[in-house]
A and B are shown apart, each in its own frame.
Chain A
Amino acid sequence: MMDNPFTHKSWSPYVVGAAIGVLSWFAFATADKPLGITTAFENTAALVEKAAIPDFEQANEYYAAKAKEGKSPKVDWEWMLVLGVFLGALLSASLSGDRTTESIPGLWRRRFGGSVGKRFIAAFLGGGLMMFGARLAQGCTSGHGISGALQLAVSSWVFVAAMFAVATAAAFMLYGKEGAQHV
């Protein structure tokens, strides 16, 4: 059993990358879809807002605009993809004993201390800002960074270059050169 690759905690990033490349062939061939995560979040939020607030659908041009494109929010291929990512990671981590209950990553603790509340507030706000940005740009590290880039989309290469530059600057400001020594 020692040689079962599924029980290993990590695989070579080149093997993982190549397999994700082949997986994108599969997605295009079987569903005619690029791999992407954030559209499903937008659809879920749109369905919740429509259900929670009466007249939201009439008041907000969003639903009319999406209906016109034939992209009304629903539980679709992308939605199941996100659910699958959760299950696949759960499976992988369970097989290798890499499951954790960690709330504060070590590098964060070193820089910002051991307050769980502080880390959770930052994660909530950071996650929210990131998703807002992904919807403004119509893609994320998967939709633009992998799927868009491999289709040679101009929008995706612009997004990846700008996002990487901003995130690098932000990471050095937040965690500093000192943080880099502890990665």
Chain B
Amino acid sequence: MFDEPTKLALGLLTGIVFGFLLQKGRAAKFHVIIGQFLLKDWTVVKIMGTAVVVGSVGVYALVTMDMASLHVKPLLLGGVLLGAVCFGVGMAVFGYCPGTSVAACGEGRRDAMVGVLGMLVGAGVYVALFPLLQPVIKSLGDMGETTLPQLTGTSPWPWVVGLAVVGSALLWFLRHGPKRSSQGGDDSAHADAVRKQHDFSAAE
């Protein structure tokens, strides 16, 4: 029922840092998540994009040095696509993703606490229906645990470097590109967000 204590301690430590960062990144807030999907507040894309660019360099370095192995989810197209539809609709209604909803509970948000209970029930429905769901998940084929380099028969490094170049260019554009209505550089975006939160509190 329990993993070994060292693993549990490492998981807890990693989680504390992860939760701390999500809260400091303002990702545990409804208006930041929904603001991203309304294409007004690009905080979520900035965080995820930077994490992916920085993460891929180090993780592929660790894998190359044999200090870690890849853990790739299988490309079961039926499950991935149907899952993405349920996930996207659910997230737009809820206003938090799984990690940020747990962080939002730490921040004290009552609606996130209720949503986390719903998430446990959603996971329970999946487990209960597991045998019935298998044909649906496998309906569009199983292409296995494939990465883009494996799919194209190339070395991962051109992909990692390409991702860093394209990702950095996009992130640079988000920071310095033409100003959107309420979107300036980072500092003004922060100031905006803080001011708007005050507006909301004042209105309530």
Contact = CB atoms under 8 A, between A and B. Distances in A.
A105 interface: yes
Interface string A82-104: 11111111111100101111111
A137 interface: yes
A130 B12 contact: no
Nearest to A162: B84
Nearest to B148: A152
B50 A89 contact: no
A104 B75 CA distance: 37
Contacts of B124: 45, 48-49
Interface string B83-98: 1111111111111111
Given A35-B18, A91-B16, A103-B110, A127 B88 contact: no
Contacts of A89: 19-20, 22-23, 28, 102-107
Q: How large is the interface on A (under 10, 10 to 19, 20 to 34, 35 or more residues)?
A: 35 or more
A56 to B, nearest CB: 8
Contacts of A142: 97-99
Contacts of A103: 109-111
A141 B99 contact: yes
B184 interface: no
Contacts of A9: 194
Interface in B103-140: 103-112, 114-128, 130-131, 133, 136-137
Contacts of B3: 74-77
B123 A38 contact: yes
Given A16-B25, A170-B89, A175-B34, A131 B203 contact: no
A61 B99 CA distance: 28
Given A14-B50, A17-B50, A167-B88, A84 B55 contact: no
Interface in A1-56: 8-14, 16-35, 37-38, 41-42, 44-49
A41 B80 CA distance: 18
A154 B204 CA distance: 45
Given A85-B103, A130-B119, A49 B127 contact: yes
Contacts of A136: 79-80, 82-83, 86, 126, 133, 136-137
Contacts of B98: 37-38, 41, 130-131, 134, 140-142
A24 B11 CA distance: 12
B20 A91 contact: yes
Given A21-B58, A23-B21, A25-B59, A159 B40 contact: no
Given A17-B25, A37-B98, A93-B107, A128 B90 contact: yes
Contacts of A10: 24-26, 190, 193-194
A106 interface: yes
A29 to B, nearest CB: 6
Interface of B: 1-3, 7-31, 34-35, 37-41, 43, 46-59, 62-63, 67-77, 79-112, 114-128, 130-131, 133, 136-137, 143, 145-149, 151, 156, 159-160, 163, 171, 175, 182, 186, 190, 193-194, 196-197, 199-200, 203-204
